[in-house]
Structure 1
Amino acid sequence: MKPLLLLVFCLISLPVMFYLSEHRSMSSVVWLQGISVTLHQENSRTPNKQTDKFIGGLLSPSFDEESCLSRYRSALFRKDSPHLPSSYLIERLRKYEELHKKCGPNTPLYHKSIIQLNLGQSIELMDCNYLVWTPFNGLGNRMLTIASAFLYAVLTNRVLLIHQTVDMVDLFCEPFPDSTWILPPDFPIKNLTKLYQGSETSYGNMLKNKRIKDDVSVPSNSLPAYVYLHLEHDYQHLDKFFFCEKDQVILQKINWLLLQSDIYFVPGLFLVPQFEDELRWMFPAKETVFHHLGRYLFHPTNTVWGMITRYHTAYLAGSDERIGIQVRVFSRNPISAENYLKQILMCSQQENLLPEINMNRTLNPTKSTMKSKAVLITSLYPEYSEKLKSMYYEHTTVTGETVSVNQPTHEVQQQTERQFHNQKALAEMYLLSYCDVLITTGWSTFGYIGQGLAGLKPWILLTPRDQKPADPPCTRAVSMEPCFQVPPTYDCRAKKNADLGALVRHVTHCEDVEQGIKLVD
């Protein structure tokens, strides 16, 4: 009888086993003759417990998880990225972490370098060389420039240190194991936030005034101990020589570089010949640079992570699809909230992102056919979410879907100098990055951060003209990379002005900024 019982058990179990294998996205318990089988939840609406929290080796496993909850948990709130980091990028990140640990603040080699800095001249073959980043402009700009500075530091074997002002405190966890990236407060060069285009120590001014000779054979001991790199939107012709190979040879001989920028200058690094091979090996898929570096560097502190998870759980997690709409109106292109909402709706309906409303109020779709969409709006102003919320509250949709509209904050004015404002801005960037679809505002670095972290190509709202909605209202991004909005126009190799968006296949013009350039595959 035992073989017969076993056969009966198997025949009964087979349908259940098949059901389990075919329905892994469900969450339930199946009982069979006293045996319970739990079906694992893998719905994209909730954190995916099977996601690799180290993101394919991008993140080091060397951290205490509780000290920075977002580091290993943030990836659980997104669908698995199809863009895995290359083995060479992972190798270079681990090597950089060792360099930072050896040369970072409070190490003997750091103190040795500070002594050299105080001597007032560069010394050839120092054990450690440094790039000091100082903040300028809004949080989105700052994050883009930190990522750019970090990539430059990796390419040139420098240690990146962050000048942390009070409005940057309690935003990001330390990204490098067993070492800090915060510049010590006793750093001998003061007034770092007072640097500007005309500063005497800027590289462009030193070239202009012959304090640095435009000659790759110049010895290190004739060079200053530090140079300021002015890479803001107003930089001048000589400042832009930073992107020339000959000037990079000179800069390599200077032990300390100070950097202030408000632009994502990564595409410019791809046009420097000496960096070409390293960048090709690190990023075989060119449009993944910020996607990888952003998720490697930027981990919200537990304070900010609490804001993110509480809001996500309360308003976004229960929906079938999440749509992020990032709205920014620039004073140079003013438009009323009513007209800009028209443009947003034109875009969303043209691309079938949001369902149309049904003017027949009697339509009442059955619950079995009803799907839900959660719209996340990030804006300084409440008008967009209020009007959209009213629209979907007062009318059913032609598809029968339910639409909830949510907006975490409406600060009215950007207040970059306030820490709490920056914490809320960072939380909203991350909430955007957990959406399935994105509509972003052209020119906005806030939107660039969301799309890069998410690994999505957004629909970009084009610039309004004469206070009227743009026509067409939006366009799909050709890549998820941010735009280098103010690139140089000088071709260093040809020694003449040129269109840098047409020199190589993987650099093209941006959809939202005509003169800008971006990486593309």
Structure 2
Amino acid sequence: MTYIRKNLFVSSCSHLYNVNSFQTCALSNKICNITILLNSYAAYRTCIIENLFTDADYVVFDAVNGLGNRILGLIAVTTYALVTSRVLLINWQPGDNHQASFEDLFLPLSLSDNVPFYYQYSLPRLANLVKNRWMNEIESKTKNSRIPIDWAFYFDREILCNNKTYKQSWFVQFGFYILNFISHHVKWFRTDQYFVPLLKRNEKTRQAFITLFQNGQVFSELATKLLHPVPKVNSIIKDFQTKYTLENKIITIGVHMRSWSANMINHIEPFQKCIEHVIKNVSKSDKDETKIHLYIISNTRQRRQKLENHISNIYKNLKILNSPEAPETANVVEKMQYTLAELLILSKMQHLIITSKSTFGMIAQGLAGKGAWIVRQGASHEIQTIKSDLCEWESTSEPEYQMMGSLQVNHTCSQYATSLPSIGERTII
């Protein structure tokens, strides 16, 4: 009787949002857009969570290291939740080089301004479905078990591969049947990757994305609607804007310079040349007459200051916008709030120069919803392989996702394939 009552309850929520809602909204002859879709999903999610119903289908985002990685992973998993009509749960706790909780940085997750809902949920309620977090451990065992690295997406291969069927041995198929039976209600993603491009591999789903998201800007649409900074972060941004009155006639250039090792402090040439290139392209008059404001953020203060001083000596009319810095007495949470404010300010600059493969740069560009100049000086091993003067324009604002092998050029998957694109934590970079 309890089981029947629970299923009746799910039915009472499913009219708000279901597995067909994403494509139905995209194909609807009536007015339906991403805002309406998000409102519907918010109502459905609230309906399930407020009644503490654990037999619904969930997807858990398990946050990993670093603020940038967490934001990219959260938006990707949220997109997955919208496509599959799963109820999103967020496990965003301090740790892994990130000493702040979700609520320290953002308001309770809201899919619209008028329909707030609680993102917090008692994860122990799912303990009977997720034993010892075995899903997180499975990737390390793939070599011996023959389980595809991307086991989490295996059960959703119809989304990725146009309903192609994988040819596996009966033993492997039976193993996946057991895993699917155990974990049907819960998908647990521990990821730092923006795997949204994978969700567009299926033709029908891809068309829905094109219809719902103008110019393909999924990240910009969802991040601006989902992530609302806490008042402290907004206050830091407001103080910065008050200090520097930015007029339209002033050229503002934002730079994110990622340092991958302490040995890169003196390695500023790629960014110096890119800044010079951008100023040359955007200035409408002589460089000594054009007002230019330069805003640089970096995880290495000495490197940032070295670049600021060098550029200031070249352009006498250039003004450095000092990024907000947390007071010396600030605790770890306050420092993270300043870091978030620093990132959001970067996204407000007119022109962006970012480091390749850097999540902060990807997020700033994604929030801005516009192209950026990319300095191909990413991971430390690239210093020897990338020309120091390479400064490339990237028109898309979607964060980068690196597919491997033939998957880079094909939108379908071979029926003989044994694995799918990676959505787990990066092992390179």
- Fold equivalence (TM over 0.5): yes
* Shift in Å, 1:454: 0.7
SS of 2:360 mapped into structure 1: helix
Check whether the contact 1:164–1:182 (CA below 8 A) recurs between aligned residues.
Answer: no
Indicate which of 291, 294, 299 corresponds to 1:372: 291
In structure 1, how many angstroms separate the alpha carbons of the residues matched to 2:149 and 2:229? Answer: 35
Indicate which of 487, 492, 495 corresponds to 2:415: 495
In structure 2, how many angstroms separate the alpha carbons of the residues matched to 1:384 and 1:375? Answer: 15
Q: Does 1:164 align with 2:92?
A: yes
Aligned position for 1:183: 121
Superposed, 1:56-135 pairs within 5 Å as 87-104=32-49, 107-108=50-51, 110-111=52-53, 113=54, 116=55, 128-135=56-63
Aligned position for 2:3: none
**Cα distance 1:254–1:497, how it changes in 2: closer, same or farther (>3 A)?**
closer
Q: Does 1:352 align with 2:271?
A: no
**Cα distance 1:428–1:95, how it changes in 2: closer, same or farther (>3 A)?**
same
**Cα distance 1:151–1:393, how it changes in 2: closer, same or farther (>3 A)?**
closer
Check whether the contact 1:132–1:160 (CA below 8 A) recurs between aligned residues.
Answer: yes
Check whether the contact 1:379–1:410 (CA below 8 A) recurs between aligned residues.
Answer: no
Aligned position for 2:16: none
Q: Does 1:474 align with 2:403?
A: no
**Cα distance 1:313–1:260, how it changes in 2: closer, same or farther (>3 A)?**
same
Relative contact order (alpha carbons < 8 A, sep ≥ 6): 1 or 2 greater? 2
Q: Does 1:154 align with 2:82?
A: yes
Q: Percent identity?
A: 23
Indicate which of 231, 236, 245 corresponds to 2:149: 236
Check whether the contact 1:161–1:183 (CA below 8 A) recurs between aligned residues.
Answer: yes
In structure 2, how many angstroms separate the alpha carbons of the residues matched to 1:344 and 1:209? Answer: 44
* Shift in Å, 1:208: 5.1
Superposed, 1:282-361 pairs within 5 Å as 282-286=212-216, 288-315=217-244, 317=246, 320-331=250-261, 336-339=264-267, 341-352=268-279
In structure 1, how many angstroms separate the alpha carbons of the residues matched to 2:155 and 2:241? Answer: 42
Structure showing the higher helix proportion among its residues: 2
Letter in 2 for 1:285: N
In structure 1, how many angstroms separate the alpha carbons of the residues matched to 2:321 and 2:92? Answer: 36
**Cα distance 1:237–1:289, how it changes in 2: closer, same or farther (>3 A)?**
closer
Indicate which of 343, 347, 356 corresponds to 1:442: 356
Mean Cα deviation higher: 477-486 or 347-356: 347-356
Check whether the contact 2:236–2:324 (CA below 8 A) recurs between aligned residues.
Answer: no
Mean Cα deviation higher: 235-244 or 132-141: 235-244
In structure 2, how many angstroms separate the alpha carbons of the residues matched to 1:392 and 1:209? Answer: 54
**Cα distance 1:237–1:430, how it changes in 2: closer, same or farther (>3 A)?**
closer
**Cα distance 1:403–1:90, how it changes in 2: closer, same or farther (>3 A)?**
same
Letter in 2 for 1:474: C
* Shift in Å, 1:135: 0.7
In structure 2, how many angstroms separate the alpha carbons of the residues matched to 1:471 and 1:392? Answer: 17
* Shift in Å, 1:352: 2.9
Letter in 2 for 1:241: Y
Structure 2 unaligned blocks of 5 or more: 1-30, 95-99, 164-176
Check whether the contact 1:349–1:355 (CA below 8 A) recurs between aligned residues.
Answer: no
**Cα distance 1:433–1:296, how it changes in 2: closer, same or farther (>3 A)?**
same
* Shift in Å, 1:404: 2.4
* Shift in Å, 1:161: 1.4
SS of 1:495 mapped into structure 2: coil
Q: TM-score, normalised by structure 2?
A: 0.69
Letter in 2 for 1:291: S
**Cα distance 1:441–1:246, how it changes in 2: closer, same or farther (>3 A)?**
closer
User: Could you say what the CA RMSD is over the residues aligned between the two structures, in angstroms?
Assistant: 4.2
* Shift in Å, 1:393: 5.2
- CA deviation profile, 1:239-258 (whole Å, cap 9, x unmatched): 56366218999869922222
Indicate which of 37, 58, 65 corresponds to 1:137: 65
**Cα distance 1:409–1:342, how it changes in 2: closer, same or farther (>3 A)?**
farther
* Shift in Å, 1:377: 0.9
Letter in 2 for 1:136: V
Mean Cα deviation higher: 417-426 or 470-479: 417-426
Structure 1 unaligned blocks of 5 or more: 1-85, 117-127, 211-234, 357-363, 412-416, 502-512, 517-521
In structure 1, how many angstroms separate the alpha carbons of the residues matched to 2:82 and 2:297? Answer: 33
Mean Cα deviation higher: 241-250 or 471-480: 241-250
Indicate which of 173, 191, 196 corresponds to 1:266: 196
- CA deviation profile, 1:150-200 (whole Å, cap 9, x unmatched): 11111111111111314223111121424211223653429x9x8577625
**Cα distance 1:93–1:140, how it changes in 2: closer, same or farther (>3 A)?**
same
* Shift in Å, 1:434: 0.7
In structure 2, how many angstroms separate the alpha carbons of the residues matched to 1:335 and 1:467? Answer: 13
SS of 2:397 mapped into structure 1: coil
- CA deviation profile, 1:197-254 (whole Å, cap 9, x unmatched): 7625x7997x9589xxxxxxxxxxxxxxxxxxxxxxxx82545636621899986992
Aligned position for 2:13: none
**Cα distance 1:240–1:92, how it changes in 2: closer, same or farther (>3 A)?**
closer
Letter in 2 for 1:293: L
- CA deviation profile, 1:30-86 (whole Å, cap 9, x unmatched): xxxxxxxxxxxxxxxxxxxxxxxxxxxxxxxxxxxxxxxxxxxxxxxxxxxxxxxx9
SS of 2:184 mapped into structure 1: coil
Indicate which of 406, 418, 429 corresponds to 2:322: 406
Q: TM-score, normalised by structure 1?
A: 0.58
Letter in 2 for 1:346: K
Superposed, 1:245-256 pairs within 5 Å as 245=158, 254-256=184-186
Alignment size in residue pairs: 352
In structure 2, how many angstroms separate the alpha carbons of the residues matched to 1:472 and 1:159? Answer: 46
